[in-house]
Amino acid sequence: MSIRVKPLAAAFASTTLILSLFVGLLPRAAEAAPPAADPLVARGRYVVATAGCNDCHTPGYAESGGTLPEKQWLQGSNVGFLGPWGVSYPSNLRLTLSSMTEGQWLLFARAPRLPPMPWFALRDMSDDDLRAVFRYVRSLGASGERAPTPLAPGLPVKTPVIEFVPRSLTTARN
């Protein structure tokens, strides 16, 4: 019985080449597969929608009765809030969170902010709810422009503002 070495070696070499190509593609195929749905993203969307984040951080949201498309959400605004603290602007959360880690967000979210931002509501949220907000906002992707920098009292304002100063009825009529 004679063994034909050349054809056997060629077949082995072909099989080895095919296997090595297949094995080489495995990590790439795993990278290309879409990630499993993160349940925290859906929870974050719920928290954002019910906590009123869009009222200030999404231009036109309140005026539209909450009907703006999600792709427009949380891009900040150049309409400022004028009060004794100066002028504050709702930040573009999509840009802000795109450069943070989840841990950085937890600290940032609980830090005091200028009015009318209800930072104390974020301070009192659970870590799980804040993580959900973070993941939801990050899932939207970075988009839009940065909001203007807050202004100290008395500085000239070049953007539209909402005057956020309590007044008595007699003052409001004058």
From first to last of its 174 residues, the chain has per-residue pLDDT tens of: 444 444 434 443 443 333 343 334 334 333 333 455 899 999 999 999 999 999 999 999 999 999 999 999 999 999 999 999 999 999 999 999 999 999 999 999 999 999 999 999 999 999 999 999 999 999 999 999 999 999 999 999 999 999 998 888 876 665
Residues 6+ apart with CB under 8 A from 7: none
Identify the H or E element spanning 128. helix 127-140
What pLDDT is attached to residue 170?
75
Residues 78, 156: one domain? yes
Q: How many CB atoms lie within 10 A of CB 102?
A: 13
Tokens matching residue 65: 């009765």
Tokens matching residue 118: 């209800």
Identify the H or E element spanning 157. none
Residues 72, 138: one domain? yes
Residues 6+ apart with CB under 8 A from 141: 94, 98
Residues 4, 26: one domain? yes
Q: What is the DSSP letter of 65?
A: T
Rounded to an integer, what distance in angstroms lies between the CA atom of residue 121 and that of residue 57?
15
Rounded to an integer, what distance in angstroms lies between the CA atom of residue 136 and that of residue 69?
15
Among 86, 132, 89, which Cα is nearest to 109's? 132
What pLDDT is attached to residue 5?
44
Residues 101, 159: one domain? yes
Specify the number of domains making up the chain. Answer: 2
Residues 49, 24: one domain? no
